[in-house]
Amino acid sequence: MATFAFFDTKPYDIPGFEKYSKGTDIQFRFYETKLCADTVSLAEGCDGVVVFVNDTVDKTVIDKLYDMGVRLIALRCAGFNNVDTASSFEKIHIVRVPAYSPYAVAEHAMAMLLCSIRRIHKAFNRTREFNFSLQGLCGFDLHGKTVGVVGTGKIGRVFADICRGFGMNVIAYDPYPAKDVWFEYASLDELLSRSDIISLHCPLTAETQHIINAESIAKMKKGAVIINTSRGQLIDTDALIDGIKNKTVGAACLDVYEEESDIFFEDYSGHIMQDDTLARLVSMPNVILTSHQGFLTTDALENIAKVTVENIQCFLEGKDLQNEVCYHCGKGEICRKNRLGKCF
């Protein structure tokens, strides 16, 4: 029986993983705590770990896991920016869930956009107090507006399709353009200057960190709406706040925040928020903030559990790891395995 330490466990995680591991040689130890240097000892005696977006899997953690005999890190998410892939190479294999539900995240992006521009959140609060005035609730049509999609992986393309259904003009930026797409590609500067709405669907890398900053905001149309359902560090939050204050940015729809790791997924409603920047964002009437819930649908949770367990089974049985990640990936390196076998 192979044992896996499951970190940052939430109640909605357990049913799916128990369902798909039933009848296998995999058992999970569920821990509410996040993985970091202080908690890595919880993986003692385990064959692998299962981690999420805000677990810390740096060199220190990887070295300790390796010394304890851990040989697999199973990410139950698509992004892997929180994992030091270079330090794990030739020590611990890394697998991920590349496409648990692009529809879940793309639909959440559109839901936030509609809520923001049609003032649904404000109207909801008003009518609960029997205030039926329409003053201050005027929005604008999406039909005919230009949306700039930054990153055209599966989620970005699904979001583009949704926007097409609203009659929007779609332009996109991606350093690795997809083939056979119906929308137009443009440079990042052109996208910033032409778009009424900008939606981020790119991974967090050294190149994309703070892709939205003071300089890029200055190039935007006045009143542009920014959506981010990808990773918080794609946006320089201080620059975003300045852009909102000077009215260059008309609204922001954020499902992620660059300093979210110690805040999101937890209940702080009975506490004073110590993060002044986040408190400032929440207080702004044209900012909609959700706590990284874009993935949270029953369909996505099922897919995450199913694919993660399949990844683990493939590793244990010595099969090809089609969802493996290593530091070569995405950096123009020649893949040693050509998507066959394992990276090492």
The residues that are catalytic are: 231, 260, 292
Amino acid at 249: V
Distance CA 232, CA 54 (A): 11
Distance CA 99, CA 290 (A): 21
Residue 203, both tokens: 């991974």
Nearest residue to 217 (alpha-carbon basis) of 192, 195, 185, 196: 192
- List Cβ neighbours of 61 (8 Å cut-off, separation of 6 or more): 35, 36, 37, 40
Look-up: residue for tokens 């909102």? Answer: 244
Distances (CA, A) of 184 to 161, 236, 297: 13, 27, 30
Asked if residues 343 and 337 have their Cβ atoms less than 8 Å apart, the reply is: yes
Question: In the beta sheet, which residues pair with residue 254?
Answer: 228, 289
Asked if residues 34 and 53 have their Cβ atoms less than 8 Å apart, the reply is: no
Question: In the beta sheet, which residues pair with residue 323?
Answer: none
Asked if residues 67 and 92 have their Cβ atoms less than 8 Å apart, the reply is: no
Dihedral sign of CA atoms 340, 342, 343, 344 in order? negative
Asked if residues 238 and 280 have their Cβ atoms less than 8 Å apart, the reply is: no
Write out the E strands in 11-71. 26-30, 48-51
Amino acid at 313: Q
Checking 118-125 for CB contacts under 8 A at 24+ apart, the result is: 121/288, 122/285
Distance CA 246, CA 75 (A): 40
Look-up: residue for tokens 């918080």? Answer: 232
Largest CA distance in the chain: 64
Amino acid at 39: T
